[in-house]
A and B are shown apart, each in its own frame.
Chain A
Amino acid sequence: DQQVKQNSPSLSVQEGRISILNCDYTNSMFDYFLWYKKYPAEGPTFLISISSIKDKNEDGRFTVFLNKSAKHLSLHIVPSQPGDSAVYFCAASGGTYKYIFGTGTRLKVLA
């Protein structure tokens, strides 16, 4: 039972354009959401988070949007850069330490 889903295993975007990564969840008890970036042979690196009391959080080129009614969140990267090429995981928690991760989306930014 996959509670956090990233339905696009991969995404290719031209440098300078917007990258949109999507994540859906099923558990309405989740109230905290995070995005991690992972390079090969490295651990995930925290990118940005959002709590359920907000619908948007921005940090530089990265913005996360949360649509609670649709149980959907998305990560926007503008403008995309070649160094953004990585696997992106969304994760969710229900007010606890236990993160539930999606399966990841591999982003490739083309120069």
Chain B
Amino acid sequence: NAGVMQNPRHLVRRRGQEARLRCSPMKGHSHVYWYRQLPEEGLKFMVYLQKENIIDESGMPKERFSAEFPKEGPSILRIQQVVRGDSAAYFCASSPGSGGISYEQYFGPGTRLTVT
């Protein structure tokens, strides 16, 4: 009964490199959410995806960030040309659906990205 899986747990990138963060939702969950937590702050919503669809990317920076959730395989959060300000913990969450108001989101352990 695996929970939400994220890898890698820690990722170090030099400025200008690309970062790829992976998320496998809980079994039976078809909705994936990405959040970012900067030091001393709460989690901030970035993007909500269903299989092969981006439903809401209103929390994503307009440039360098993209996300996908293909038909097969994990969801990917991709950050191109990383900068120091991208250093943060990135959490993925999943839910069985998004209808109504009461689908709790279950979080993965996060990927801690450090940009040097």
Q: Complex formed: what's the CA distance from A44 to B90 in Å?
A: 12
Tell me the count of chain B residues lying within 8 A, CB to CB, of chain A: 28
Tell me the count of chain A residues lying within 8 A, CB to CB, of chain B: 27
A67-97, CB < 8 A from B: 89, 91, 93, 95-97
Q: Determine whether the beta carbon of B43 is less than 8 Å from that of A89.
A: yes
Give the Cβ gap from A89 to chain B, nearest Cβ, in Å: 6
Q: Determine whether the beta carbon of A97 is less than 8 Å from that of B109.
A: no
Q: Determine whether the beta carbon of B110 is less than 8 Å from that of A97.
A: no
A interface vs B, CB < 8 Å? 4, 6, 31-32, 34, 36, 41-46, 49, 51, 89, 91, 93, 95-104
* Extra 13 A-B pairs, beta carbons < 8 Å, given A43-B110, A97-B48, A104-B42: A6-B42, A42-B110, A49-B104, A95-B100, A96-B101, A97-B31, A97-B33, A97-B95, A97-B103, A98-B56, A99-B105, A101-B44, A102-B42
